[in-house]
Amino acid sequence: MKKEKDNSWKEEKIEIEKETKGKDNVSSQKKERSWLKKEGVLAVDVYQTEEDIIIEAPVAGVKKEDLEITTEKDIVIIKGKRDRLISSEEIKSFYVKECFFGDFRKEVILPEETDPSRIKADIKEGILLIKVPKIEREKKRKIEI
């Protein structure tokens, strides 16, 4: 059984190009449809220690100023951009293309209740390390009367 590829986004892009062709306001219409822009996915490992949820991600070639880490409720959002060292115009053709360059985004849903106000992030040897402290709950406590 042959599996068909979903090319609906290509058809939609063609429709948008037809709509905007020859119009004065093309750039603003393209901005409105920026959701069509291809975004890469960042590979991550998520694990826990006794005190923290840890998120690790390889970010070799990404400048610190091109990374943005935000939280929204129980989600950590990592956005960034990895640029090629050689411009795309200089590249004639690829023999193998496995690396992603350009904008990327990753959302990590935290598996436990955490304290987002104490999140710390660092980059060492091309690895992004995010520590999200868990909220400590008392397991058992005696109530004095």
Which domain range does residue 56 map to? 39-133
Asked if residue 122 lies in contact with residue 82, where contact means CB atoms within 8 angstroms, the answer is: no
Q: What is the pLDDT of residues 67-109, one digit of tens each?
A: 999 999 889 999 999 888 888 788 888 888 877 888 999 999 9
Task: Work out whether the CA dihedral 84, 100, 95, 92 comes out positive or negative.
Answer: negative
**123 and 91 assigned to the same domain:** yes
The number of distinct structural domains making up the chain is 2
Distance between CA 124 and CA 126 in Å, rounded? 5
**117 located within any domain:** yes
**86 and 109 assigned to the same domain:** yes
**15 located within any domain:** yes
State in Å, rounded, how far the first CA of the chain is from the last one.
71
**58 and 106 assigned to the same domain:** yes
**43 and 32 assigned to the same domain:** no
Check residue 92 and report its DSSP letter.
Answer: -
Distance between CA 17 and CA 110 in Å, rounded? 39
Task: Give every CB contact of residue 123 below 8 A, 6+ residues apart in sequence.
Answer: 59, 64, 67, 129
Q: What is the pLDDT of residues 113-132, one digit of tens each?
A: 898 889 999 999 999 999 99
**138 located within any domain:** no
**96 located within any domain:** yes
pLDDT value of residue 136: 79
* Beta strand spans in 4-101 (E): 40-41, 45-48, 52-58, 67-72, 75-82
**70 and 51 assigned to the same domain:** yes
Q: What is the CATH number of the domain that holds 68?
A: 2.60.40.790
